[in-house]
Amino acid sequence: MNHVGQLIEARRLAYLNGAAVARNGVADFDTLIDAVRGAYLAHADGDVVMPKSEYLRYPGRPGYDRIIPLLGHLGGAVGVSGLKQICSGTGNGGRGFPRASGLIILNEPASNRPFAVLEGAGISAARTAAVTGLALRQL
């Protein structure tokens, strides 16, 4: 059973901070590239739902000061829905925070019940790198 299946079977809400996310696979670059490839193939097969994204921007602040909520569903072997929220603040470095932060909430599609909350900035950065890795693999 994969990590998603294990979390759903636990029937409780799990929280994984950045360190726990890294321990559970985000640091394994080959696995990430394979996961990104699987997501692209599912998208090509019509087994992905991704509504149009919206950006929350603040008047009078730089364009990179924003919150981006992204909804999606990935079918196939994974079978998970959820929300990724990426937040960016250009002044965060001066406040002692990273520029980008985020959360990912995973939902079981059968019940729509949330089953995991994950620190999302590291996952998002790793996914971006894995897209490049996948492109290089195809050369």
Alpha carbon distance 106, 114 (integer Å):
6
Known active-site residue 84:
yes
Catalytic residue, candidates 8, 21, 35, 84: 84
Q: Are 4 and 25 in contact (CB under 8 A)?
A: no
Other beta carbons within 10 Å of 96: 6
Picking from 83, 84, 80, the residue whose alpha carbon sits closest to that of residue 108 is 80
Known catalytic residues are 84
